[in-house]
Amino acid sequence: MATSNTTVMPLQPPGTDANDWTITAPGTVAGPWQEELAGMARLSIEIRFTYGSAGATCRVCVQSSLDGGNTAYDLLIADFTTAAGVILATMVPVQGVAQAADMSDGGTLYAGGNALAGIKAVPLGDRLRAKIISTGQYANTVVSIRTMAA
């Protein structure tokens, strides 16, 4: 059964009703799963990085899962540093691709922060969440992540 949720939804930080992530101390934080998305035929993502000051690197991972959230894998990784930026993407399931993707949790297999090249067959899964990995001490920096599944 395809999802009927075509509303724009935020991927929220953990433990809050806030729609945006305030980046301050370095570290790795994963948000709660946005569930009930089985049957996604398309996923649109907007990541907006509003830079304040200081900091070093901020990696934003949009993740999915096929096993109830026990194992996360990356759908999209966006790297930011000390400048504002916006990433827009639309993902659709790819048919007939022989090469599988190696999409590790948090982009740990991406040497030097470089994403895998080319189109990869990545399942959209039945849930989404965001994971943010930051280094350096940011101030007045906000990440906004919006998704729309159809």
Tens digits of residue pLDDT in 106-132: 554 444 444 444 445 577 888 999 999
2 within a domain of the structure (yes/no) = no
Among candidate residues 27, 48, 22, 12, the one with its CA nearest the CA of residue 140:
22
SS3 assignment, position 102: coil
When pLDDT is cut at 50, 70 and 90, the band that residue 133 belongs to is very high
Residue 130 near residue 62 (C-beta atoms within 8 A): yes
CATH of the domain at 33: 2.60.120
Mean pLDDT of the chain: 81
137 within a domain of the structure (yes/no) = yes
| DSSP string across 2-36 | -----S-EE-PPTTS--SEEEE-SSEEEE---B--
51 within a domain of the structure (yes/no) = yes
50 within a domain of the structure (yes/no) = yes
The pLDDT value given to residue 31: 93
The pLDDT value given to residue 63: 92
**pLDDT at position 32 over 60:** yes
Residue 86 near residue 49 (C-beta atoms within 8 A): yes
Helix (H) / strand (E) element for 129: namely strand 128-135
Number of domains, the chain: 1
139 within a domain of the structure (yes/no) = yes
When pLDDT is cut at 50, 70 and 90, the band that residue 139 belongs to is very high
97 within a domain of the structure (yes/no) = no
Cα R_g (the chain), whole angstroms:
15
Rounded to two decimals, the pTM is 0.80
**pLDDT at position 105 over 60:** no
Distance CA 61, CA 69 (A): 15
**pLDDT at position 4 over 90:** no
75 within a domain of the structure (yes/no) = yes
14 within a domain of the structure (yes/no) = yes
Domain residues for the domain of 25 are 9-92+102-110+120-149
Tens digits of residue pLDDT in 83-95: 999 999 888 766 5
